[in-house]
Amino acid sequence: MAKHDLFEIFEKMPKKVNIGDITIRDGFQHEEHFIPTRAKTYYLHELAFAGLKRMEVTNLGNPRNMPQFNDAEELLKSVHSDIFKKRLEKRGINHSDIEWTCITIRESAVDRAIELKEKGYGPDRILMMVSTDEQHHFANSGTTLPQYWKEAERCIKKCHDAGIKMCGTVSTIWGSPISGPTKFEDAVEFTKRWLSIGADDIEHADHDGSAPPDKVYRYFSMILDALPNTDLHVAHFHVTRGWGNANVLAALQAGITNFEATLGGTGGQPANFVDGVPGLGTGQYYYKDPNVVGLSVLEDMLVMMDEMGIETGINIDRILELGVMMEKTIGRRLRSEAILNGRIPKEVRTDFKRPKLPILKEKNGEKPGQLIPEGWPEKAEVPPEISGKK
């Protein structure tokens, strides 16, 4: 007899996961208008109240290139403020249990993170990034890969001395928008390289929606064969081609336990146009329509996992409310289907019951709960020549 339970078929599939929100950084970096600082602060705080334990706050790079992040220090101060800590405490949440991350692609941004840490409101964790395609890497960082590896090694040592964790991102795992196909073996090797120079964990990034589910399963199976410690690995998916939750499921089946997502599936390549002003970003967009890109949708991911019986520790109903608000903040319809359709009903919805049904059953002489005609066999029998069962 074939197994019917997904958790039995995929024995590494977890029943409990950790989900990090990256809306305020990765989600907002793609927006072509400046999101008010008060809105960013509101969502950071409310996501924490809803149970998120890992969040990206901002990008500490030069705001001349990405003006969306010219309020970086203000946001960091807000999540380390005494008022916010007290509000968390009232809800039974320890501020120290939440990990605040900033993106620091280059060493100057790393130095800024360390400086802010010394001032008492810096990040707990920062992130640097390599791409297995050197052309893509150069577009993001302006360095060769050998240059960057040396820079990253220096930065990791400085961060650890300052009490900051370093996440090393590996990108272009499933292909590059510049150079085309890439090799999984290179991404596995880059993962090992990050860990060998001291990185604390690895973000495995499908940065532009290039990963089909079968290759997601294959890659993460390779990664966990090489490095079985699931705490080391974070799955990061874009939904440019609509494969977001399919890829989340494939990663779950491989055994991955850490995921990232954004409210409404916002995000994408850094905007090169903000509030009517042309900017740098990372240059020309890799896609024809900037409205179709985005990341895994937090609301839909949580509802799906809840239905699968996977524990997240997050207040899903509150996240759905925040998703509705986010559409007003952004000013357009976003990707979440769950905020429209809600969670799967678990109780009878009496307001939708048809009162004429019991009347008709009584008229027909049917008993309450009777589902098949009187006299029919209790179990249906399908002829073997039709069922294919011998």
The full 3-state SS of the chain, as one line of letters, equals CCCCCHHHHCCCCCCECEEEECHHHHHHHHCCCCCCHHHHHHHHHHHHHCCCCEEEEEECCCCCCCHHHCCHHHHHHHHCCHHHHHHHHHCCCCHHHCEEEEECCCHHHHHHHHHHHHHCCCCCEEEEEEECCHHHHHHHHCCCHHHHHHHHHHHHHHHHHHCCEEEEEEECCCCECCCECCCHHHHHHHHHHHHHCCCCEEEEEECCCCCCHHHHHHHHHHHHHHCCCHHHEEEEEECCCCCHHHHHHHHHHHCCCEEEEEHHHCCCCCCCEECCEECCCCCCCCCCCCCCCCECEHHHHHHHHHHCCCECCCCHHHHHHHHHHHHHHHCCCCCCCHHHHCCCCCCCCHHHCCCHHHHHHHHCCCCCCCCCCCCCCCCCCCCHHHHCCC
- pTM, to two decimals: 0.93
pLDDT score of 120 more than 80: yes
Decide if pLDDT at 283 tops 90. Answer: no
CATH architecture group of domain 16-341: Alpha-Beta Barrel (3.20)
Query: Rounded mean pLDDT of the chain?
Result: 95
Tokens of 329: 């903040």
Q: What is the pLDDT of residue 64?
A: 84
Please report which confidence band the pLDDT of residue 41 belongs to, taking 50, 70 and 90 as the band edges.
Answer: very high
Mean pLDDT over residues 362-375, rounded? Answer: 95
- Distance in angstroms (rounded) separating the CA atoms of residues 228 and 2: 28
Q: What is the mean pLDDT of residues 282-297?
A: 80
pLDDT, residue 284, reads: 77
Distance CA(239)–CA(251), nearest Å, equals 15
**pLDDT for 18:** 98
Q: What is the pLDDT of residue 273?
A: 83
pLDDT of residue 329: 98
* Residue extents of the structural domains in the chain: 16-341
How many residues make up the chain in this entry? 390
Q: Stretch 199-212: mean pLDDT, rounded?
A: 94
**pLDDT tier for residue 207 given thresholds of 50, 70 and 90:** confident
**pLDDT of the residue at 208:** 85
pLDDT at residue number 165: 98
Of the pLDDT bands very low, low, confident and very high (cuts 50, 70, 90), residue 327 is very high
Helix axes 244-254, 213-226, angle to 10 degrees: 30
Confidence band (pLDDT; 50, 70, 90) for 152? Answer: very high
Q: What is the pLDDT of residue 291?
A: 73
Q: How many C-beta neighbours within 10 Å does residue 107 have?
A: 15
Instruction: State mean pLDDT over 175-187.
Output: 95
pLDDT tens for 224-247 read 999 999 999 999 999 988 899 999
